[in-house]
């Protein structure tokens, strides 16, 4: 946030640098079960983001001292490939990815019925193959589909979206230039049925009124994104019937 630039991000007609209107999402596509070994998986393409989420478990938590006698431990690992960004990213976890892993784990644990699996662990691996702003939200949105696809009981899916402030305007779903040169970034994830917020971070500068406007936009968008998640899951069962008894 806050890097000064001469690039004009919103034109006279109110359109954004990639031609979108303020409340327009980038194209989103989700496909389930893209991997064989994992218990559940999903590929999300959200604008230029390409992210795979895979789920293993519930399985016995290891090492044993990590076990919780009351519930399953949810462990998400968010990782960016070296080639996913313009300048090569040094492989392996860094401070940013560790923080993101933590908030994603917490968001998913709020949705998963962990109390049904004491002493177990649910691993969620999120690999960002191509990054184009909003990767944590796209990764989490895909991870929720992967968890559901693995047949793990959940209270609801988890659906995320970002809003932000660009050239003084509140807009939905920041693209890369807006993320780099905008004035605020507000990723939010909710349980869509109830609207309960399970992930929220913010950096930049927003007045209380701007925050209200941004969250209003996000809540509207969540409905659309949630439908894409549900369609992906439905599609899994509609297309897999033909393969029974193969």
Partner 1 sequence: MPRDELGILSEIKRSYIMRRLKEGKRSDDRNLDQFREATITPNYIVRAAGSSMVTLGKTKVIAGVKIEAGEPFPDTPNQGVLTTNVELLPMAFPTFESGPPNEMSIELARVVDRGIRESKMIDLQKLVIEPAAKVWIVFIDINVLDFDGNLIDACTLASVSALKTAIVPASSIGGKDFTVPTTCTPISVTMAKIGDSLVVDPDLEEEQISQGRITVTTSEDGHIKAMQKGDVGFFTMDEIKKAIITSSNVGKSLREKYFG
Task: Check binding of 200 to partner 1 (CB under 8 A).
Answer: yes
Q: What 3-state DSSP class applies to 121?
A: strand
Q: Which is nearer to partner 1, 58 or 232 (CB)?
A: 58
212, 224, 231, 240: residue in contact with partner 1 (rule CB under 8 A): 212
Of positions 17, 169, 179, 211, contacts partner 1 by CB under 8 A? 211
Query: Does 207 contact partner 1 by CB under 8 A?
Result: yes
Q: Which stretch binds partner 1 (CB under 8 A): 39-47, 140-148, 201-209, 237-245?
A: 201-209
DSSP string, 75-116: EEEEEE-TTSSSSPPPSS--HHHHHHHHHHHHHHHHHB-GGG
Residue 142's nearest CA partner among 241, 54, 39 is 54
How many Å apart are CA 62 and CA 146, to the nearest integer? Answer: 22
Query: To the nearest whole angstrom, how small is the minimum distance from the Cβ of residue 33 to partner 1?
Result: 27
Q: Does 208 bind partner 1 (CB under 8 A)?
A: yes
CB of 246 to partner 1, least distance (A): 40
Q: Which is nearer to partner 1, 43 or 74 (CB)?
A: 74
Q: What is the separation of C-alpha 93 from the centre of its chain, rounded to a whole number of angstroms? A: 18
Q: Which of residues 89-128 bind partner 1 (CB under 8 A)?
A: 95-96, 98-99, 101-103, 106, 109-110
Cα–Cα distance, 139 to 198 (Å, whole number): 14
């Amino acid at each position: 946030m806050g890097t000064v630039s001469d690039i004009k991000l919103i034109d006279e007609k109110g359109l954004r640098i990639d031609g979108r209107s303020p409340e327009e999402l980038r194209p989103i596509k989700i496909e389930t079960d893209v991997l064989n070994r994992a218990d559940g998986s999903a590929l999300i393409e959200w604008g230029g983001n390409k992210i795979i989420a895979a789920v293993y478990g519930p399985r016995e938590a290891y090492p044993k001292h990590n076990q919780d006698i009351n519930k399953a431990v949810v462990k998400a690992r968010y990782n960016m490939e070296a080639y996913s960004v313009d300048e090569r990213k040094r492989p392996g976890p860094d401070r940013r990815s560790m923080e993101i892993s933590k908030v994603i784990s917490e968001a998913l644990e709020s949705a998963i019925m962990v109390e049904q699996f004491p002493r177990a662990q649910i691993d969620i691996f999120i690999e960002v193959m191509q990054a184009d702003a909003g990767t944590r939200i796209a990764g989490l949105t895909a991870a929720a589909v992967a968890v559901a696809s693995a047949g793990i009981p959940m209270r609801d899916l988890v659906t995320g979206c970002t809003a932000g402030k660009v050239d003084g305007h509140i807009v939905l779903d920041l693209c890369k230039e807006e993320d780099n040169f905008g004035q605020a970034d507000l990723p939010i994830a909710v349980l869509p049925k109830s609207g309960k917020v399970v992930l929220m971070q913010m950096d930049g500068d927003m007045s209380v009124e701007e925050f209200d406007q941004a969250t209003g936009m996000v809540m509207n968008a969540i409905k659309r994104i949630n439908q894409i998640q549900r369609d992906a899951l439905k599609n899994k069962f509609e297309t897999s019937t033909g393969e029974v008894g193969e």
